Chain A
Amino acid sequence: MREIVLQTRQLTKRYKDSAALDHADITVYRKDIYGLIGRNGAGKTTIMKIVTGLTSPTEGEFEIFGKTGESAGNEKRRIGCLIENPAFFPNLSAYQNLKYYCLQKGIPGDTHISETLEMVGLKDSADKKFKKFSLGMKQRLGIALAMLDDPDLIILDEPINGLDPIGISELRDTFRRLNREKEITFIISSHILSELYTVANRFLIIDKGKIIKEITKEELDLECKRCIVVRTDDTKKLAAVLEKDLGITDYKVTDSMELRIYEQNDDPARLNKMLVGRDINVSSLFESGISLEDYFKDLVEEVRS
């Protein structure tokens, strides 16, 4: 059984009349790269702020590294994070800012700082003052801080904001490498779904504070893959006909009423005719297969309607 790093139970945060987070249940496993997908104000940052202790929940609780309540606070040292915008002292250089946090966390030596700055591509700007940094450089320094302490869990809120394409690609590789080599768990939120898709292995889709879906990358691939969706009252019979009579093996029964055929099929009308001819009660048959963005939009609209 996989080790759970973070688990929330009915986590809720209300501000006066509105709920920024509404009874959210999420589970993040060790070595996950967990992507939070949602529009502005969906509740992604609120989850991160609650978990890191920057705000307290109105209801519910969360368990981090197996600890809840007050004792969860002691696990903070195992977390590195960048929430909202990167915040540093403007009059200090990149190196001095990281040195400040090293002293604060009791991290000895200076080699760690140089290594981390190199990892995020800021080695040459180590002595440059933070106030003179571009947006992308500030973002990199924020990521460097999150990685500084070799944490077990890194929480990054919109980490690629302001980064150039090469920087995004380099960071993506860094996240993957840290996840693979040091077994660091990541929770990353982003508006750029295609970028999140390339790094994350599990996704949480959230809208207006409500969890819409928690899905693995494999499941997401299946949901988005081009296919023919057949709705019927007897998926077992349909599966048998597909395999025996039509020789189709690449399909998946998604629920008791629905089956998806992933095998290339140029003529859905002909398929429909063949299924009806074999006494399959087809209630609907249509082509599917959408982009990640469309999938997200459809899901949100479906829940809203």
Chain B
Amino acid sequence: MANALDPHAAIVVQASAATPAPLTTADGQPLTRALARSQRVARRRAFMLVLPLLAFILVTFALPIGQMLGRSVHNDGYSANMSRMAAWFAANPPGTEREEAAFEALARDISDAAAARTIGIVGTRINYDVPGTRSLFTSSGRQLRELPDPPFRKAMVEINPQWDNDRLWVAMRSASTAVTGNFYLAAVDRTRNEDGAVMRVAENQRVYLMLFWRTFMLSLLITGLTFVLGFPIAHLLATLPTRRSNLLMILVLLPFWTSLLVRTTAWIVLLQQQGVVNDILVWLGVIGNGQRLQMIYNQTGTIVAMTHILLPFMVLPLYSVMRTINPSYVRAARSLGATSWTAFRRVYFPQTLPGFGAGALLVFILAVGYYITPALVGGSSGQLISNMIAVHMTDTLNWSLAAALAALLLAGVLALYWIYDRLVGIDNLKLG
């Protein structure tokens, strides 16, 4: 049955057409249009098939992440609850003398916010920019349940002299619009001074840039270590007879199937000062009882545990690529006079690179976001940026700053991905 939507019909016509005129289908339509239409139907059907998955990913993954990232530039804690102040800041450009009207707006807004029990939100928002001011709002709120008599400026300064502080007013101005870049400033150890100019925070408060740097360096190191350890295993797996390589494969996968927490705590049992490794070293007489090594609750602990946990993510892509490498290439190289080292370096190794690329990308991206392992075995020097994000999510509840830190981390990973794509090409990536 010839059908306009049937691509086979077009091919039949094409085969029998003798003239070079535009190809048409049996019913006279141009071939390209018929083809496009039939493909459109197929595409639509394919789209309908993936639609449930797409909707699921959008609702459970993309939307929440987008919403969370939105918090990093949007915080209406002040602007939504201090409407008169927001209006005053909008009407008066920076540098305007704070006059009586401004203080009246302030007193009335604080009074209303205290009555609506939103004063804490207002104070928390300003406290992010000027630490130590949250109680200024909440305690003034308690005193301003009854509005004071004018002049308001005098009344506010009597409640607390801090109300006439320049830095506070800069912070209030910047918070009077919901959209702000201050959380990103804070996430790179920067703040605004009295004039609103960006400056670095005091030396003893700088922490995030250092943690970002440490996270990236440790992740690179861990990626390198998994490669060094994983390459021989993957090679062995790929070259052993199937029966033995299957057994070895189970040994690689077994820890993979074990709970992350179990593997992490197992390392604590092994590496702690009264742990198995130290006990054996003392028993062998390598070290004295008083010189037990500190191998956990520091960076060493983080590196060892994370390398072990992430190792399968390097071994599996390498293995799947090595399986496909034809051994006759190396044999050919050897028969042409290459030493085994040269044959490995110039013939075998380059062919494993797609597997290395996939493994390295997987391990690195997983490592920069690792949280629970460094928290448990990292002590103080083995903490990563994700641990600080967790502190702001669950402890200080400064979700805007947590979102800004997470967004920077995400941007860093995407940038690296882009560089990888430019240098290696993402098409060369082989996951299996």
On whether the two chains bind one another, the answer is: no
